[in-house]
Amino acid sequence: MAPPKTTRTAKRRPRRGRSKTASRPTWKVIGAIAAMAVVVGGAVLLMRAWAPPERRPAVVERQKPPAGDPTPAARARAPEKQTAARPAPSRPHERPAAAERPAPAPAPVYEVFPQKTPAPAPAENGTLHAALPPAPPELPPLKKRPRLALIIDDIGYDRAAAEKLIELDAPLTLALLPHSPHLHAIAESAHRRGLELMLHLPMEPVGYPEVNPGPGTLLTRMPPDELLQVLERNLEAVPHIRGVNNHMGSKLTAQAEQMYQIFSVLKKRGLYFIDSRTTEESVCKPSARLFQLPFAQRDVFLDHHPEPAFIRQQLRELVRIALRRGEAVGIAHPYPATVRVLKEELTSLREQVELVPASQLTRAASS
């Protein structure tokens, strides 16, 4: 008797269920592998996109080497030795290694930050100098212009002549006689115009009393107290003075004792002294050296013969001394001829020398 159909059908169903169950794990593995491939591929693309750009050798070479680093040649050889000994392992996500493509030749370091410019070859050096225009000749060093001081003595009696000298607009030094009638008016006018003032101190000449220097004269026969009193009154009589020079004085300036007394007062007051040199026997220079008093002495009298031709000749001699020695001191007087010659020669004089006040040519005597 044949078995029932229901029993055969029941036996086949479990077999079909086992085949479906066995195929499910296979599809899951395939799907997982595909998902992992997608994730890995995306990660590789992201890493390539986010990776920083590779630095080029030129950027490193342009950095200035610090002091004490090895020489450029040694630093250029060092990377080559390291590359030959230990090549860097390549990674799958990096670009091809540098060994797979020719490396560019490194530029010399001194072209960007030169430590020492290389000297050109002898042949190139000669060619370069031959192509350049000849260098201009070296100019001699500029010499300092000689300085010249002009002192105008005996100021205080002729106001009109003094005003003409002030109007010359030149750095003259006016030496005013004490107790002269126009002393204060001339002193104030000259001081407003910036001129330097001196006391023209009367001193005893060899021919005294036939030759009389005027009021306020210092005499060799005066005791020290009297001489110093007269000196103080003379100094107080002239305002705005910077220094002193002697009026006559061929006898007194040869007496060391009296000159010591005078210079001790001038030193305390901070004044200078200029020797008019009315005698070759003058002891003013060694006396000034003893007191370290600012000192100078006259080089040329311009107008002891008040004639225009003679004054011009003396003025040329004064300039010649200034050009030879670097400085000179001239003394003149307010004669009409002197005023006229100075007015005519002033432009030419300024082209040759620098006119300065007398104080700029005084210094502590050294010999």
Distance CA 165, CA 196 (A): 13
* Cis ω before 209 (30° cut-off from 0): yes
Per the rule left: phi > 0, alpha: psi between -120 and 50, beta: everything else, 169 is left
Distances, alpha carbon 74 to alpha carbons 62, 78, 81, 108, 334, in Å: 16, 6, 11, 12, 85
- Name the H helices within 132-277: 159-167, 183-192, 224-237, 256-269
Is 129 or 38 the better-scoring residue by pLDDT?
Answer: 38
Task: Give pLDDT tens digits for 149-184.
Answer: 999 999 999 999 999 999 999 999 999 999 999 999
Task: Give pLDDT tens digits for 294-318.
Answer: 999 999 999 999 999 999 999 999 9
> What was the pLDDT predicted at 146?
97
For the chain, helix (H) and strand (E) counts, in that order, are: 11, 10
Distance CA 85, CA 83 (A): 6
Residue 148 predicted with pLDDT over 50: yes
> What was the pLDDT predicted at 82?
44
Radius of gyration of the chain (CA): 53
> What was the pLDDT predicted at 119?
53
Is 349 or 143 the better-scoring residue by pLDDT?
Answer: 349
Distance CA 24, CA 7 (A): 28
Is 272 or 63 the better-scoring residue by pLDDT?
Answer: 272
| DSSP-assigned states of every residue in 50-119 | HSPPPPPHHHHHTSPPPTTPPPHHHHHHHHHHHHHHSPPPP-TTSPPPGGGSPPPPPPPGGGTS-SSPPP
Is 7 or 263 the better-scoring residue by pLDDT?
Answer: 263
HSE, CB side, 13 Å, CA atoms: give it for residue 30: 5
Q: Label residue 29 by pLDDT band (50, 70, 90).
A: confident
- Phi, psi (degrees; rounded to nearest 5) at 17: -60, -35
> What was the pLDDT predicted at 132?
56
Residue 334 predicted with pLDDT over 80: yes
Residue 355 predicted with pLDDT over 90: yes
Collapse the DSSP code of 181 into the 3-class scheme (helix H, G, I; strand E, B; otherwise coil) and give the result.
Answer: coil
Residue range 262-270: average pLDDT? 97
User: Two tokens at 53?
Assistant: 């750009």
Residue 21 predicted with pLDDT over 70: no
Percent of the chain with pLDDT over 70: 66
Burial class for 116, CB neighbours closer than 10 Å (0-12, 13-18, 19+): exposed
Query: pTM for the full model?
Result: 0.63
Collapse the DSSP code of 223 into the 3-class scheme (helix H, G, I; strand E, B; otherwise coil) and give the result.
Answer: coil
Please, which residues bridge with residue 202 across strands?
247
Task: Give pLDDT tens digits for 200-251.
Answer: 999 999 999 999 999 999 999 999 999 999 999 999 999 999 999 999 999 9
Residue type, 344: E
Task: Give pLDDT tens digits for 45-102.
Answer: 777 766 665 555 444 444 555 554 544 444 444 444 444 445 445 454 455 444 455 5
Distance CA 318, CA 324 (A): 10
Is 206 or 7 the better-scoring residue by pLDDT?
Answer: 206
